[in-house]
């Protein structure tokens, strides 16, 4: 290809990339949403601070699906969680999702939310990954992290959660036992936006938003 053609191709690609970037802006981060306990427990976490790739950091993005503002949508394939805002926008967070054989999908509601919850490993997790203590106290070493959002269908707990993590290095991957993991800072941000009873849509593997 002539040099002029290469130059035009590069300019075209650059324009495409920049055009795509204009649809997503990094959402401002703030410690204003953190409680005193959050600040204390997150000041010196017992895990390495992960360098989250920019694509999986918190962004404000265009949102063209039909879900109403206040809805959570999880795109399992892309490893994104969207919190739908008014005006065709959403907050997009990077997440860790379940391995394909363990991934949960469906429509649920936010049954309850807990701050720095205790973790009680299920019998299935004990058999597959244990042994664990019967109960792990809430804190930065706890796999549920800073917040847990409990997903219900009707009055029944699905046993699946959207929660923080003590393994932020896995954001953007599919390795969990089915739950949706977020960084502790992101799950705090999400919980502060949520209303009780909010609808949660989790797309199955193979289907993207």
Q: Tens digits of per-residue pLDDT, 157-182?
A: 998 999 999 999 999 998 876 789 99
- Beta carbons of 203 and 110 less than 8 angstroms apart: no
Structure-model confidence comparison of residues 117 and 134, the more confident one: 117
Structure-model confidence comparison of residues 58 and 103, the more confident one: 58
* Band of residue 130 on the pLDDT scale cut at 50, 70, 90: low
CA distance 138 to 118: 4
* 85 within a domain of the structure (yes/no): yes
CA distance 155 to 143: 25
Residue 37 has pLDDT above 50, yes or no: yes
Residue 153 has pLDDT above 50, yes or no: yes
Residue 84, strand partner residues:
90
* 207 within a domain of the structure (yes/no): no
Assign residue 67 the CATH number of its domain: 2.40.440.10
Domain count, the chain: 1
* 209 within a domain of the structure (yes/no): no
Terminal-to-terminal C-alpha distance of the chain: 37
CA distance 89 to 24: 10
* 166 within a domain of the structure (yes/no): yes
User: pTM here?
Assistant: 0.83
Which tens digit of pLDDT belongs to each residue from 52-82? 999 999 999 999 999 999 999 999 999 999 9
Sign of dihedral through CA atoms 33, 41, 57, 81?
Answer: negative
Report the pLDDT value the prediction gives residue 18, as an integer from 0 to 100. Answer: 35
* 208 within a domain of the structure (yes/no): no
Report the pLDDT value the prediction gives residue 15, as an integer from 0 to 100. Answer: 36
DSSP state of 119: B
Beta strands in the chain (DSSP E): 24-26, 59-62, 72-75, 80-85, 89-94, 97-98, 106-115, 147-153, 156-163, 174-176, 180-181, 199-202
Q: What is the side-by-side order of every strand in the sheet holding 106-115?
A: 24-26, 59-62, 89-94, 80-85, 72-75, 199-202, 106-115, 147-153, 156-163, 180-181
Degrees, nearest 5: CA angle 180-121-53: 30
Classify residue 110 as exposed, middle or buried by CB count within 10 Å of its CB (0-12, 13-18, 19+).
buried
Q: Which residues are catalytic?
A: 163, 179
Range of the domain at 63: 3-202
Can you tell me the mean pLDDT for 114-119? Answer: 93
Computed over every residue of the chain, the mean pLDDT equals 84
* 62 within a domain of the structure (yes/no): yes
Residue 206, CA atoms < 13 Å, CB-side half-sphere: 5
């Amino acid at each position: 290809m002539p040099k002029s053609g290469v130059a035009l191709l590069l300019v075209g690609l650059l324009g495409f990339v920049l055009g795509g970037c204009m649809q997503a802006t990094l959402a401002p981060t703030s410690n204003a949403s953190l409680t005193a306990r959050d600040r204390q427990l997150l000041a010196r976490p017992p895990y390495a601070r992960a360098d989250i790739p920019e694509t999986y950091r918190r962004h404000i993005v265009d949102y063209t699906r039909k879900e109403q503002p206040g809805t959570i949508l999880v795109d399992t394939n892309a490893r994104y969680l969207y919190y739908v805002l008014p005006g065709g926008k959403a907050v997009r967070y990077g997440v860790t999702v379940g391995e394909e054989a363990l991934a949960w999908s469906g429509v649920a509601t936010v049954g309850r939310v807990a701050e720095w919850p205790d973790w009680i490993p299920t019998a299935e997790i004990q058999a597959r990954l244990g042994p664990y203590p019967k109960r792990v106290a809430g804190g930065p070493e706890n796999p549920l992290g800073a917040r847990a959002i409990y997903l219900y269908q009707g009055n029944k707990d699905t046993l699946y959660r959207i929660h923080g993590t003590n393994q932020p290095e896995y954001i953007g991957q599919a390795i969990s036992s089915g739950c949706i993991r977020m960084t502790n800072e992101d799950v705090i941000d999400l919980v502060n936006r949520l209303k009780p009873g909010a609808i949660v849509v989790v797309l199955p593997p193979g289907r993207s938003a």
